[in-house]
Amino acid sequence: MLQPADQSTIERAAAILKRGGLVAFPTETVYGLGADATNARAVARIFEVKARPQFDPIIVHVASADAAHALWTRCPEPAAALMRAFWPGPLTLVLPKTERIPDLVTAGLPMVAVRMPDHPVALRLIQLAGCPVAAPSANRFGRASPTTAAAVEEELGEGVDLILDGGPARIGIESTVLAFDDGTPVLLRPGGVTVESLREAVGPIAMRGRPAQRRASPGMLQRHYAPRTPLYLLEEAEAPADGLLAATGTVGLLSLTPASLPVPVGHAEVLSPSGDLVEAAARFFQALRRLDQRGLDLLIAVPMPRHGLGLALMDRLTKAASGRAWIKHGTVLLAGHGTVTRRPA
Ligand code: TXA
Ligand code: MG
């Protein structure tokens, strides 16, 4: 079921998509779980296999800009400029949809998200299938995105008809998702194309749902990208005076550059010893998976710089976290939803 992505396997995968099956395939960001985007029954299977709630819309993948235009009723000039600048690549554009896209794909929204991936296997697959390909990240809902074919198999196993193995994903973090408000780009999800480079190409980008705002209203904190082991995001600000619990058990540590804690660390993952955010993004989800497989009691993540790809990494960490941590008087103090300090049995 997991097959190296050579020409004949890609042909087989395209045939599976044509008859309404599911194929996991590599992209430059993360692996996707694909179905024919014009076939509502095939798309329904994506929701089933991922255990994904039907209110969460899916990105449609195309192999050319023309194929994208065929799915939208209009495309404002800033969107066209962004396509010229960043396609193929990790940029998803959300625009009004045509009838060709079933409501299930967009969760009933009048807009469809479309991107052209920068990966030869993905592009070949879409061309051979001859249809736009709806594909969320190939993980179970709410969990870390897979950046290798083996991680897809671990996540979805039997549910997929074929997994195309194209090696580890080059970028390692999902695409940037942009909508448009009167022609002004609005950031829905930071990702592989940095906000800095978007601004350079088209000017102002409206930011929505910044991590600081989400922390300010915990009810909006959507749990996503989450490991099974409780993950706490380290705070730099001073700890609140009460309501905190001292961490017990063995800790896993995730950081950009080498870091230390005043408590025993069972396993540490350093994303980039030199602090390179591109290298860090490429290693992020695999590092999270490795930490989750170590049987640790809790994980602590050191915040990333909030620029470049660090913005996307902080977005994923904030959503993956079940609480926050502070270092004080030689201990690690925790606060979280129910303040889990021991791994659930
Ligand atoms: O890099 C990526 O984007 C990967 C690869 C496989 O292409 N895909 C991916 O898909 O990350 P997924 O389903 O895990 O995340 C898609 C995001 C979700 O946050 C979803 O809410 C948003 O895009 N989205 C999709 N369609 C939308 C729409 N019509 N309006 C607003 N947001 C949409
Ligand atoms: Mg996802």
Question: 59, 143, 175, 189: which to mutate for ligand 1, most atoms within 8 A of CB?
Answer: 59
- Residue 342 corresponds to which tokens in the numbers above? 């021991």
Q: What pLDDT is attached to residue 341?
A: 45
Look at residue 130 and tell me if it is in a domain: yes
Look at residue 137 and tell me if it is in a domain: yes
Query: Torsions phi, psi of 127, nearest 5?
Result: -60, -45
Look at residue 342 and tell me if it is in a domain: no
In this structure, are 72 and 183 located in the same domain? yes
**What are the residues whose beta carbon lies below 5 Å from ligand 2 (ion)?**
137
Look at residue 141 and tell me if it is in a domain: yes
Q: Mean pLDDT, to the nearest integer, of 176-195?
A: 95
Q: Mean pLDDT, to the nearest integer, of 131-136?
A: 98
The number of domains in the chain is 2
Question: 55, 123, 174: which to mutate for ligand 1, most atoms within 8 A of CB?
Answer: 174
Lowest mean pLDDT among 143-147, 239-243, 286-290: 239-243
* Any ligand 1 atom below 6 A from CB of 109: yes
What is the distance in A from the centroid of ligand 1 to the CA of 180? 15
The region, left, alpha or beta by phi > 0 then psi within -120 to 50, assigned to residue 233 is: beta
Which of 188, 214, 240 is the last residue in one of the domains?
214
Q: What pLDDT is attached to residue 211?
A: 47
At 224, the pLDDT band (50, 70, 90 cuts) reads: confident
Which of 181, 214, 247 is the last residue in one of the domains?
214
At 221, the pLDDT band (50, 70, 90 cuts) reads: very low
Judged by DSSP in three states, 68 sits in helix
Q: What pLDDT is attached to residue 52?
A: 87
What is the distance in A from the centroid of ligand 1 to the CA of 137? 8
What is the distance in A from the centroid of ligand 1 to the CA of 224? 13
In this structure, are 253 and 192 located in the same domain? no
In this structure, are 237 and 140 located in the same domain? no
What is the distance in A from the centroid of ligand 2 to the CA of 138? 7
The enclosing H or E element of 197 equals helix 195-202
With b meaning 16 or more CB within 10 Å and e meaning fewer, what string describes 312-337? bbbbbbbbbbbbbbbbeeeebbbbbe
Look at residue 320 and tell me if it is in a domain: yes
Q: What CATH code is carried by the domain that includes residue 245? A: 3.40.50
In this structure, are 268 and 310 located in the same domain? yes
The answer to whether the pTM exceeds 0.85 is yes
* Any ligand 1 atom below 6 A from CB of 155: no
Q: Which has the closest alpha carbon to 17: 225, 161, 193?
A: 161
Look at residue 35 and tell me if it is in a domain: yes
* Any ligand 1 atom below 6 A from CB of 106: yes
In this structure, are 11 and 126 located in the same domain? yes
What is the distance in A from the centroid of ligand 1 to the CA of 43? 14
Write the residue with the smallest CA distance to atom 3 of ligand 1.
175
| Nearest ligand by distance to the CA of 145 | 2
In this structure, are 210 and 257 located in the same domain? no
Segment 5-50, tens digit of pLDDT: 999 999 999 999 999 999 999 999 999 999 999 999 999 999 999 9
| Nearest ligand by distance to the CA of 59 | 1
In this structure, are 70 and 112 located in the same domain? yes
What is the distance in A from the centroid of ligand 1 to the CA of 339? 30
What is the distance in A from the centroid of ligand 2 to the CA of 48? 14
The enclosing H or E element of 207 equals strand 206-207
Question: pLDDT above 90 covers what percent of the chain?
Answer: 84
In this structure, are 144 and 244 located in the same domain? no
Segment 232-256, tens digit of pLDDT: 999 988 888 888 999 989 999 999 9
Segment 290-338, tens digit of pLDDT: 999 999 999 999 999 999 999 999 999 999 999 999 999 889 999 986 4
Q: Residue 283: is it exposed, middle or buried by C-beta count within 10 angstroms (0-12/13-18/19+)? A: middle
Q: What pLDDT is attached to residue 337?
A: 63
In this structure, are 130 and 171 located in the same domain? yes
Look at residue 70 and tell me if it is in a domain: yes
- Residue 79 corresponds to which tokens in the numbers above? 């969107």
The chain-wide mean pLDDT, for the chain, equals 92
At 216, the pLDDT band (50, 70, 90 cuts) reads: very low
Segment 46-80, tens digit of pLDDT: 999 998 888 889 999 999 999 999 999 999 999 99
In this structure, are 68 and 116 located in the same domain? yes
Residue 106: give the domain boundaries: 2-214
Q: What CATH code is carried by the domain that includes residue 17? A: 3.90.870.10
Report which residue type is found at 33.
L
Per residue, the 3-state secondary structure of 322-342, as one string, reads CEEEEEECCEEEEEECCCCCC
In this structure, are 184 and 295 located in the same domain? no
- Cβ-based neighbours of 322, under 8 Å, separated by 6 or more: 223, 226, 230, 231, 232, 336, 337, 340
Check pLDDT > 90 for residue 261.
Answer: yes
Look at residue 33 and tell me if it is in a domain: yes
* Any ligand 1 atom below 6 A from CB of 118: no
* Any ligand 1 atom below 6 A from CB of 175: yes
Check pLDDT > 90 for residue 231.
Answer: yes
In this structure, are 209 and 250 located in the same domain? no
* Any ligand 1 atom below 6 A from CB of 57: yes
Q: CB–CB of 177/94 below 8 Å? A: yes
